Amino acid sequence: GEEVAQTPKHLVRGEGQKAKLYCAPIKGHSYVFWYQQVLKNEFKFLISFQNENVFDETGMPKERFSAKCLPNSPCSLEIQATKLEDSAVYFCASSQSTATEAFFGQGTRLTVV
Amino acid sequence: SQQGEEDPQALSIQEGENATMNCSYKTSINNLQWYRQNSGRGLVHLILIRSNEREKHSGRLRVTLDTSKKSSSLLITASRAADTASYFCATDANNNDMRFGAGTRLTVKP
């Protein structure tokens, strides 16, 4: 596709439930990035992929967060046992290379209640 | 940890005035990008400036990069109410990940 597609747009989960977010990068883009934005503040880097390989996961809370980018499937970000502080907008971005611009999806707003 | 830091955190100006936002970063970079975000929506790419470039223009936007000071500035000339948004800088360091600052919230009053 010509744009980064994130689904769902909104997700509400009870504390302790699982949340799964999806991102379809732009066709031909090798890099995928996930960011967390809390209350319109700074973007916290979570994880990046180069094709289906994890490139950098230094931003990922190791205990409950996981992500995958499998061939011929949307990338996914999964949060096990959600907590209230996981409430945020999660943005996905893709780029052809690190020297070119990144295109962002519209984000998934996760609300944990 | 985040790489870029924008200042000011918030800026309010009148339509027609110029707006200048600054970004400082900590480590060596390959390039620096500026993005705009309207009301919590996705980021829109504005300009990419490479580490060997000092200045770049795009329409009413002018970006400078000073690698010796590890800083960049975004100038919006002749601002319009539609420029009201949050502006973020993102740096691409050697590990190829983009890191964002907290952003500058710009309000342009009609």
- Of the partner residues B44, B45, B100, the one whose CB lies closest to the CB of residue A42: B100
Q: What is the pLDDT of residues B9-62, one digit of tens each?
A: 899 999 999 999 999 998 888 889 999 988 767 888 999 999 999 999 999 999
Which residue is it, tokens 């100006």? B13
Interchain proximity A103–B45, CB inside 8 Å:
yes
Rg (CA), chain B: 13
User: Looking at residue B1, what is its pLDDT?
Assistant: 43
User: Looking at residue A55, what is its pLDDT?
Assistant: 87
In angstroms, rounded to a whole number, what is the distance separating the alpha carbons of residues B85 and B104? Answer: 8
- Cα angle for residues A6, B92, A29 (degrees, 5° grid): 40
Chain A neighbors of B103, CB-CB under 8 A = 41-42
Q: What is the pLDDT of residues A29-59, one digit of tens each?
A: 999 999 999 877 788 889 999 999 998 888 8
User: Looking at residue B5, what is its pLDDT?
Assistant: 78
The CA distance from B18 to the nearest CA of chain A, in Å, is: 24
Q: What is the pLDDT of residues B36-47, one digit of tens each?
A: 988 767 888 999
Q: Which carries the bigger pLDDT value, residue A109 or residue B100?
A: A109
Chain A neighbors of B99, CB-CB under 8 A = 45
Q: Which of A102, A76, A60 is nearest to A24 (CA)?
A: A76
Rounded to an integer, what is the distance from CA B83 to the centroid of its chain? 13
Assess contact for A33 and A93: CB atoms under 8 A. Answer: yes
Element (H, E) at A50: strand A43-50
Residue B48, token pair as written in the block: 């990419």
Q: What is the mean pLDDT of residues A1-21?
A: 94
- Of the partner residues A56, A102, A105, the one whose CB lies closest to the CB of residue B45: A102
Chain B neighbors of A37, CB-CB under 8 A = 40
